[in-house]
Structure 1
Amino acid sequence: MILGLYLLLLSPAIASAGLEEYDEPFILQFINRSQTLDLSLKCKQSLALVYDYLNDIETLTDQKICYFESFATGPNDLFLSRDQDRWVYKGYECLLSAGETVYSKSEHPMHYCYTHDDDKDKRVPAFSVCIPSPCADENQKLLEEWRRITHPEATEPITFTACTRSRHEKQWFELPVPIADFGFNMSLAMLVVMATIFHNMRGEDAKSWSARILLAFSAKTNLKKLIALPKDPQSCITCLLGLRFGSMVWTLIGHSFIFVQAYMENVEDFKNSMVDNFFNQWITNFTLSVDVFLTLGGTVLSYSWFRKWLKNTSEEEPTWTSWGYWLKFYRHRVVRLYPAYLYTLLAVTLRISVTHFHPMWPPTDPAIQCPKYWWQNVLFVNSILDNQCMPWTWYIGTEFIYYLLSPIFLLTLRKAPKIGFILCFVVIMFSAGLNVESIVRNNFPPTQFLWKQPEMFNPNFIQHHLELYIKPQYRIGPYLIGILLGYQLARYQRIPVKPQQSNKYIISMWSVALVGILFGLYGLYPALQGWDSIAWRAYHLLYGALHRDIFSIGIAFLIYICHTGIGGPVNVFLSSNFFLPLANLSFSAYLFHMIPVVLTYMLVPFPIYFNTQIPLFIHCFVQLLITYFFAIICTMVSELPALNIERLLLASPPKTTLKPSPPTDSEIQLKPSDKA
């Protein structure tokens, strides 16, 4: 005990974000003491070589510094929340100390091992060590020794440890599963090439089913769908094209500015810069981009559905008991989502996540998490459960649940519009009330704080993410606002002679749109600054409960303004044909965008030093290009061919209507050519 206290007095230096770092002599004492433990001979020999390796003339100074800085202790309850980026940063320091490169294997590979208690309420420390790879199987003994000399008061047994290695034991091209996935992708690419050649030689006049299915993969056909507007211009809300692509870019920038923190040396300077600048809220409050997607999803579904049934049509309208109609309604949604979703899930899990020479951070590594939790994504319940496989796809599960519930609101609005509006309003307010209850009970901030957390709020943003942020019951407001908007747009489309609007009306509409958008976007500043009084506490609570709905109302008014002809140059810009293919690719882009976000930061020299935001925006531009490259592949080999095959094999024979009707669909991107 006396020795432990003596070593504690010698060593700790408090680092940023609450982690304790230790100096070189202290860590070397740990290395020397560890050699007296009951370890394998190979492990003891590798520990004995650590000092010589770090002081070798061929070892870079940065490697030596990074090795000693990777040892740390910190609060257990903040391991996966406030301090997470610092633990990940120390993991990369350990990996860098091994001297691995893409083309050469280190003679002294390292493992970064850590332990924390699964019970976040326990006030016990979390620990990390950087050990030679021959000691990886005995990491628990070494972590216990590290805890013994840094925090001797912690006596509970270690029940959980995890390690990540400086280099994969085998690279992806040496493993059968990634090679098989690569071969599968090459086969799909060859199928597209063959289908395109067949299309050029034979044309579209294919008589056999096999030929028609082959043509479903034709790039000639599918590229036209990416760049072609619908034949009926009234079936497309063109301003959604720019909004959809803009939201995709906004999402990528927000995620990029979050994940760069794990690679940044002076991260506190970066966090202060992000939070203290009022105008940076378009990044720090970027999670509103998801609410744009939700609003657009509800709008597309509702507008398409009501345009059909508000017409004078001979087709029988669906009712609560039209089981065949609703099964087809849901079937098309599944076919719409599954091909691209499953293609991405397989590619990311089996190959892309193991392509780099060293693994990613274990808690978020798809190669580790998806083999255990893939079924949650396949069943669209990942947002209801722990969301551990490809966590950015929580949105797809949440939106699918809203789609399942949408007939309740569609039919109520169709049969009794006033009751439908009241129902939507009550559900929106009930969801806001649930937000209030959760925020008060857990002391959550108004939204996720992913850069700095004022002390007045609960700093555990992972708890916030899992218990409130991704749960469907807290996020349905924007989707219902979209459904109401789609209903109003469909009714407006039925007016034979559109009224000439007064300047007062136009100014009023624009005022509501701008106030809603700006309040939702920039009203977070008092909470970011930690303004704490009874009045500000009440403001934070109301903002947390309503800001997404208010922001979505602003977006809904903007869409209504543009679609009804008073949007002026804003509508011209958002409706530009330039955005059409980019918007059509946005679903696949959303699925893949996190891969280049992480990849580019792993490829540049570590660590990154923050001076200005300009280099980060350059990263974002490169990430966007890579994202859309993957999106084109995903769309051409899975998404559009599946929809083409659905039309061939599953679509019911067309029924007689006075005019062609658009599809009933709700999706991340508008697909004018998709029909149920």
Structure 2
Amino acid sequence: MRIYFFILLGIVLSQSTLLECRSEWLKIIQAAGGILDPSPSNYSKMFMYTGFNVNNLGQYDPCLELDSSKYAIIQFNPSPPIVVGLCGPKECSKYDYLHIFANLTSSDTKNDDIFEKSFGDVIQATATSNIEVIFPKEYIDHHFKEYTAGAIIMLIIVSIIILIAIIGTWIDYWLMSKTEEAKKESGKPPKVTLLMKYFLCFSVITNLKKLFTSRSQEKLGKKDTLEILNPVRVLSIGWVVFGHNGMILVTSTVLVNVNKIVDIMKSPKMIITIAGTLSVDSFFCISGVLIGYLLLLEINSGRRMNWPMLYIHRVLRIWPLMLFVLFFFWALQRHMGNGPMWYNGDLYNSQCKDYWWSNLLFINNFIPDWKGSGCLGQGWYLANDMQFYIITPPIIYLYHRYHKWIGWGILMSSVGFTVIMSGIVAHHFSLNTVVFAAVNGTNYMDFYYTKPYCRIGAYAIGILAGFIVYSYRLYKEKGIVYDPICVWIGKKLENKYVRYTIGLIGLALINFVIFIQYDTMKNPGGFALTYPNWTHDENVVFIAFHRMIWTFALMFVLLPGLLGHFSWMSWILSLDIWTPFSRLTYCVFLLQSNLIEIFYRCQRSALWFDEFLYLRDSTWFFFFCYLCAIPFVVLVEMPALQVEKLAFMSLRSKPPTDEKARSLLMVSMDKETKESS
């Protein structure tokens, strides 16, 4: 193929009026035979360092070492990238290359057999895309070489955090040593001042210990059945990493076999990746379970509810790590890599300058233009989660204070609302089930995938599951029927035949929702990506219902375990190995897209894409992201939570001072239960 390219390039150059560039390139072609010489000339080296095949990046770094050369990327298509890397002469400008490659793709040469053999797989791309010429070294030096004020400030902040962590760790070690000495000598342990307590929030020793301690053990001293949600979190974030790796690999990475992407993606093995969008519904559901259960626990604990603090605590739980990661990558990602494709190295952060504030306010899934911002792209999930949380306490208050049917009615209506809105959006934009179908454009992500009215159903189902867990536990522990519906469901699941039947139905539905998509995925309609197997109505129905089916199925499997059944499953899902992974999940979710992007944007050569490469790299990214998350969690997330707890301790709700208040609560609950019955 290379010789065909040279013949064609020689023909074009011989007809070119670009004298200097033409002359130098002809010298490079003529020097091709000298690459085997003991001391090849610069022209021979430039020939050797040039990638003349489609998606051949050549040799970027050796090319830059030559005084007379200038590395260039000729981009025929941005996504998936279809490029050629040239180690050309300095005399050639962007205009020169545009002129040369415009001739290569002109109507006079498109029918040439030589051109077909050399560039046949880019003809389709050039029909709809403009050729771009990029000089990566010049671009990187101009845009990324100098540290901005934001980058310098971020480096200072990171340095301060590390310094505080060192001081806090030293204080922690000193206190442990002095405490041990005091025990041996029967003396008093050293006094811990308020300032020391704040430094101790950043202690690496303490925070690493917490990393391996489950939240229920930390608060209750024992494990809770809710711990079975930990591996669901971990497996779901693994699914997210697999999906994002596939998306970035296919859309943003230079691949040798780019013309085989469609054939590989329609393989049955890839269906798990295509269905990976369901993992986010698992997160919404888990969040709903925990919020529903814990808020009921708080409301019925006998403590005076501090409603504003619920929201303040939630915001302070999310903000520190989210904003740190956002500003960290926005300021520093451009300096974290290099290579021929690094001119796109900061692409994911390009909208942060204008819309970072929308992440702060949790409206980044609507700003701008109702589409959503690409700044910290995965932040759309946090926006949805906060939007759901804002309306949750009022719903649970109505459920607790007035009538259980109010809560059930609102939440089940939310499920129906999700189905209806998803169907309306899918119908209006003629969405296809396959995310990257050509007909979807950006509409699938902009107007369906990231919108709360299309996702709240999973969260609502989770809250209902939290109600069931709380009511059933209260019934088993105190004999109080807090919610008759929940208690009835809990009692039914005491029957092993019922719960195993429900569990098997859940597993069947999970597999159905995943693998039914292969029926449309197996026929992409060629490079047009039309995915024509399903009709418009079939796509609309599937998009409307599949997320709710998935979430109900997930709860069919997990709910018996949450109620204390399926002991064998609970034992596996409650193993200590899941604890540190679960603690790191939130941070991994924030980091993974940027880390994957950095890795692929630094590529020096084209990759060969197949199922094995995809599985290998996805697995590697999964563990690599967890490894990278440790310092972020230990130095930022955990300290922020401890500082918040220390700062607002005096504002938190206080428990009743006597048993009378507790007994009055029980009487009130018992009376309400009888009325609802």
Q: Is the 8 A contact 1:63 1:98 kept in 2?
A: yes
The change in CA–CA distance for 1:129 and 1:253 in structure 2 (over 3 A counts) is: closer
Per the alignment, residue 479 of structure 1 pairs with: 459
Aligned to 1:383: 365
Counterpart CA distance in 1 for 2:143 and 2:359 is 27
In structure 2, what is the Cα distance between the partners aligned to 1:445 and 1:136? 48
Q: Who is 1:626 aligned against?
A: 624
Partner of 1:501: 494
Note if 1:264 corresponds to 2:261: no
**1:533 & 1:174 partners in 2: Cα distance?**
49
Distance 2:545 2:433 in 1: 9
Question: How far apart are the structure 1 equivalents of 2:590 and 2:625?
Answer: 9
Contact 2:77 2:83 in 1 (8 A): no
Classify the secondary structure of the residue corresponding to 2:69: coil
Q: Aligned in 2, Cα 1:299/1:137: closer, same or farther, shift over 3 Å?
A: farther
Structure 1: distance between partners of 2:544 and 2:135: 39
Separation (CA, whole Å) in 2 of partners of 1:646 and 1:242: 27
Alpha-carbon spacing, 1:571–1:128, altered in 2? closer, same or farther (3 Å): same
1:49 is aligned to 2:24: yes
* Cα distance change of structure 1 residues 357 and 46 upon mapping to structure 2, 3 Å threshold: farther
State the match for 2:236 in structure 1.
247
Give yes or no for the alignment of 1:614 onto 2:589.
Answer: no
Structure 2 counterpart of 1:365, from 337, 347, 364: 347
CA contact (8 A) 1:241 1:579 kept: yes
1:217 aligns with 2:202: yes
- Mind listing any 5+ residue stretches in structure 1 that lack a counterpart? 1-12, 14-21, 37-43, 70-89, 118-125, 318-324, 662-676
Q: 1:3-42 alignment to 2 at 5 Å? A: none
After superposition, the CA RMSD in angstroms is 4.1
Amino acid at match of 2:164: L
Q: CA deviation at 1:535?
A: 8.2
Give yes or no for the alignment of 1:554 onto 2:553. yes
Query: Counterpart of 1:219 in structure 2: which amino acid?
Result: V
Contact preservation (8 Å) 1:115, 1:143: no
Change beyond 3 A, Cα 1:181–1:26: farther
Structure 1 residues 563 and 199: CA distance shift in structure 2, 3 A: same
Rounded to whole Å, the distance in 2 between the matches of 1:506 and 1:440 is: 37
Task: Report the Cα distance in structure 2 between the residues aligned to 1:227 and 1:575, rounded to whole angstroms.
Answer: 13
Once the two structures are TM-superposed, the CA of residue 48 in structure 1 deviates from its matched residue by 5.3
Q: Taking structure 1 as reference, are residues 503 and 189 closer, same or farther at Cα in structure 2, changes over 3 Å only?
A: same
Who is 2:563 aligned against? 564
**Secondary structure at the counterpart of residue 464 of structure 1:** helix
Is 1:328 aligned with 2:303?
no
Q: 1:393 aligns with which of 354, 379, 404?
A: 379
* 1:3 alignment partner in structure 2: none
The structure-2 alpha-carbon separation of the partners of 1:149 and 1:525, relative to structure 1 and needing over 3 Å to count, comes to closer
Q: Is the 8 A contact 2:461 2:552 kept in 1?
A: yes
Query: 1: distance between equivalents of 2:174 and 2:615?
Result: 45
Q: Distance in 2 between matches of 1:432 and 1:471?
A: 13
**622-631 vs 101-110, which moves further:** 101-110
| Residue of structure 2 in register with 1:513 after alignment | 506
1:430 aligns with 2:430: no
The alignment partner of 1:459 has SS state of helix
**Would you say the 8 A contact 1:513–1:553 is kept in 2?**
yes
Match of 1:403 in 2: 389
Q: Find the structure with the greater CA-based Rg.
A: 2
Instruction: Look up the equivalent residue of 1:435 and give its one-letter code.
Output: S
The structure 2 residue matched to 1:294, chosen from 266, 277, 284, is 284
Q: Given that residues 433 and 545 in structure 1 are in contact (C-alpha distance below 8 angstroms), is that contact kept between their aligned partners in structure 2? A: yes
Q: 1:435 and 1:348, CA in 2 relative to 1: closer, same or farther beyond 3 A?
A: same
Is contact 1:172-1:355 (8 Å) kept? no
The amino acid across from 1:616 in the alignment is: Y
The TM-score, its normalising length taken from structure 2, stands at: 0.75
CA offset digits 1:370-407 (Å, max 9, x no partner): 33432232322222133222323321222222222223
Residue 470 to residue 48, structure 1, CA distance change in 2 (3 Å): farther
Matched, 1:276 2:267: yes
Q: Secondary structure at the match of 1:109?
A: strand
Query: 1:255 deviation in Å?
Result: 1.4
* 1:489 pairs with one of 438, 455, 469: 469
**Aligned AA (1:338):** W
Give the aligned partner of residue 669 of structure 2.
Answer: none
Q: Is residue 363–residue 369 contact of structure 1 (8 Å, CA) maintained in 2? A: no
Task: Tell me how far 1:286 sits from its aligned partner.
Answer: 0.7
C-alpha spacing 1:446/1:639, structure 2 compared with 1 (3 Å): same
Q: Distance in 2 between matches of 1:105 and 1:343?
A: 40
Whether contact under 8 Å (1:222, 1:640) holds in the other structure is yes
Match of 1:469 among 441, 449, 452: 449
Counterparts of 2:91 and 2:228, CA distance in 1? 55
Match runs of 1:333-352 below 5 Å: 333-352=314-333
Alpha-carbon distance in 2 for matches of 1:411, 1:609: 56
Distance 1:201 1:419, change over 3 A: same
Q: 1:151 to 1:489 in 2, by over 3 A?
A: farther
In the TM superposition, residue 641 of structure 1 has moved relative to its aligned partner by: 0.7
Structure 2's unaligned 5+ residue stretches are: 36-43, 109-128, 180-189, 478-489, 525-530, 663-677
Does the CA contact (< 8 Å) of 2:362 and 2:383 recur in 1?
yes
Shift of 1:353: 3.5
Give a deviation string over 1:37-66, Cα, whole Å, max 9, x none. xxxxxxx856753454565534477753x3
- SS, match of residue 60 in structure 2: coil
Identity of aligned residues (%): 18
Contact 1:164–1:362 (Cα < 8 Å) also in 2: no
Secondary structure at 2:256 match in 1: coil
Deviation at 1:346, TM superposition (A): 2.0
2:136 to 165, 168, 174: 165
**Aligned-residue offset at 1:444:** 1.2
The one-letter code sitting in structure 2 at the alignment partner of 1:655 is K
**DSSP 3-state at the match of 1:287:** helix
Report the equivalent of 1:413. Answer: 399
645, 648, 657: which is aligned to 1:647?
645
Q: Could you say which structure has the higher helix fraction?
A: 2
1:199 aligned partner, one-letter code: D
Is this contact kept in 2: 1:512–1:554, CA < 8 A? Answer: yes
**Offset at residue 642 of structure 1 (A):** 0.8
Take 2:507 and 2:582, find their aligned partners in 1: how far apart are those partners?
23
Kindly provide the CA deviation profile for residues 116-164 of structure 1, in whole angstroms up to 9, marking residues without a partner as x: 99xxxxxxxx9989789999998589758966985799xxxx9998957
TM-score, length-scaled by structure 1: 0.75
Q: Could you tell me whether the CA contact under 8 Å between 1:447 and 1:544 is conserved in 2?
A: no
Q: Which residue of 2 aligns with 1:356?
A: 337
Alignment of 1:39-188 (within 5 A): 45=20, 49-53=24-28, 57=35, 58-59=44-45, 63-64=49-50, 66-67=51-52, 69=54, 93=56, 96-97=57-58, 99-100=60-61, 108-112=69-73, 150=105, 163=134, 165-166=136-137, 168-169=140-141, 175=147, 178=151, 181-188=154-161
**2:671 matched to which residue of 1?**
none
- 2:70/2:135 contact within 8 Å kept: no
Q: Against the structure 1 CA distance between its residues 225 and 108, is the aligned structure 2 distance closer, same or farther, given a 3 Å change threshold?
A: same
The alpha carbon displacement at 1:234 in A equals 7.1
Deviates more, 1:54-63 or 1:568-577: 54-63
What is the CA–CA distance in structure 1 between the aligned matches of 2:288 and 2:422, rounded to whole Å?
21
Relative to structure 1, the CA distance from residue 534 to residue 517 in structure 2 (aligned partners, 3 Å threshold; closer, same or farther) is: closer
